[in-house]
Amino acid sequence: MRNLLKWRLCGFVVLMGVLSGCDNGDSMESFGGPTMGSSYSIKYVRHPGLPAPEEVRVQVEKILAEVDQQMSTYRSDSDIERFNTLPANHCQTMPAPILELVRVGEGLSSLSDGSFDLTVEPLLNLWGFGPQAREERIPAAEALAEVRQRVGYTHLRIEGDRLCKDAAVEVDFNSIAAGYAVDTIATRLDALGIHNYLAEVTGELKATGKKIDGSPWRIALEEPRDDQQVAQKIIAVDGYGVSTSGDYRHYFQQNGQRYSHTFDARTGAPVLHTLASVTVIHPSALMADGLSTLLLILGPERGWHYAQRHDIAAFFVIRADTGFVTRTNQAFERLVGEKTK
């Protein structure tokens, strides 16, 4: 499953401390690999009696393979792609995780007055950003009008264990699937008795507990630059998911205007505001994932007021004439302050 709706900015720097085993037999373990067109990584403190890395890897990669089989828009045999090829007024039996994410997406769409929408894939393809895109370009007005008839979360409905549609909409989970995968992995790690870990999938992550030396997991939020990775802010995390959404790596320019892969479903076009990236901290990596996308779509003013109104811990990076300016709300500072004491 390739990630196109969100290019993950949230690179992380983990100050590992002591890497060898401690006197009590504890050790720091880590592994990772490719997934969803990007990568994943797991770091955890292994106490005596806890599973070895290879055993944990099998469990984690089973989850990632299941997410890919269910939600990838880059494989024709995935559950969601089989649904996407159905014409209007058809239903398909779906696994519970897909129905769960459709409900989450519906909630985010409703709260954003339709700006966030899981059915924007035809728009992504038309503008050159989607899995079936041909070239990045401004589409003709007639083509845009036609595609917009096939976009809208209100065309979806759930009947028992079936997902149905009354228009030829296509569902794209790229804005929330990685966060869901992180939460699912975190639940599995806890079930295995692993309670000190950092789990990351395509830049979405969740950290719980402490590192082997007793210090917190520290995450470096990157400055939104095309040429290099620069740590802009370092935060300590314990028990929270962290997601950063940004528009600075996947875009094209035409007639002096910059068009990114971040779409407002209400307009059918890329957003044109000055918000470059948003980081959200939330107990659920799934919700952090979706909310960071939602706030990025809404922009520096609407997004800020939305975060304030719903007490969402958010860190905004905004383009200015002189570079970038940052803005954090009280919810974010409260969490960061608590975790760095």
pLDDT the model gives residue 7: 38
Q: Which two tokens stand for residue 70?
A: 């269910």
Identify the band that residue 22 occupies on the pLDDT scale cut at 50, 70 and 90: low
Domain assignment of residue 281, yes or no: no
pLDDT the model gives residue 275: 92
Q: Which domain holds residue 131?
A: 75-165
Domain assignment of residue 123, yes or no: yes
- pLDDT tens, residue by residue, 130-148: 666 566 678 789 989 999 9
Identify the band that residue 324 occupies on the pLDDT scale cut at 50, 70 and 90: confident
pLDDT the model gives residue 256: 59
Domain assignment of residue 161, yes or no: yes
- The C-alpha atoms of residue 97 and residue 177 are separated, in whole angstroms, by 10
Q: How many domains does the chain divide into?
A: 1
Query: Residues 40-51: what's their mean pLDDT?
Result: 97
Q: Which two tokens stand for residue 221?
A: 């939020």
Query: Are 106 and 119 contacting, i.e. CB atoms less than 8 angstroms apart?
Result: no
Domain assignment of residue 17, yes or no: no
Identify the band that residue 107 occupies on the pLDDT scale cut at 50, 70 and 90: very high
Domain assignment of residue 195, yes or no: no
Please check the confidence at residue 119 and state whether its pLDDT lies above 60: yes
- Measured at the CA of 111, the angle between CA 6 and CA 186, to 5 degrees, comes to 50
pLDDT the model gives residue 270: 86
Q: Which two tokens stand for residue 242?
A: 């962290």
Query: Residues 306-312: what's their mean pLDDT?
Result: 96
Q: Which two tokens stand for residue 315?
A: 């860190």
Q: What is the mean pLDDT of the chain?
A: 87
- The C-alpha atoms of residue 144 and residue 122 are separated, in whole angstroms, by 10
pLDDT the model gives residue 131: 64
pLDDT the model gives residue 70: 98
Identify the band that residue 165 occupies on the pLDDT scale cut at 50, 70 and 90: very high
Which DSSP helix (H) or strand (E) runs through 126?
helix 121-127
- pLDDT tens, residue by residue, 281-298: 999 999 999 999 999 999
pLDDT the model gives residue 16: 43
Q: Residue 177: CA atoms inside 13 Å, Cβ hemisphere, count?
A: 28
Please check the confidence at residue 97 and state whether its pLDDT lies above 70: yes
Please check the confidence at residue 13 and state whether its pLDDT lies above 60: no
Domain assignment of residue 141, yes or no: yes
CA-wise closest residue to 92 among 103, 107, 104, 78: 78
Domain assignment of residue 90, yes or no: yes
Please check the confidence at residue 113 and state whether its pLDDT lies above 50: yes
Of residues 94 and 262, which shows the higher confidence score? 94
Domain assignment of residue 70, yes or no: no
Of residues 258 and 9, which shows the higher confidence score? 258
Of residues 269 and 326, which shows the higher confidence score? 326
Query: Residues 153-166: what's their mean pLDDT?
Result: 98
- The C-alpha atoms of residue 182 and residue 199 are separated, in whole angstroms, by 6
* Backbone φ and ψ of 290, nearest 5°: -65, -40
13-17, 107-111, 179-183: which has the minimum mean pLDDT? 13-17
Query: Are 336 and 236 contacting, i.e. CB atoms less than 8 angstroms apart?
Result: yes
Instruction: Count CB atoms within 10 A of the CB of residue 340.
Output: 12
Location of structure tokens 């709706």: 5
pLDDT the model gives residue 15: 42
Location of structure tokens 């950092």: 198
* Backbone φ and ψ of 284, nearest 5°: -105, 125
- The C-alpha atoms of residue 332 and residue 143 are separated, in whole angstroms, by 42
Q: Is the four-CA dihedral 68, 71, 75, 80 of positive or negative sign?
A: positive
Please check the confidence at residue 315 and state whether its pLDDT lies above 70: yes
CATH number at residue 107: 1.10.3980.10
Of residues 36 and 282, which shows the higher confidence score? 282
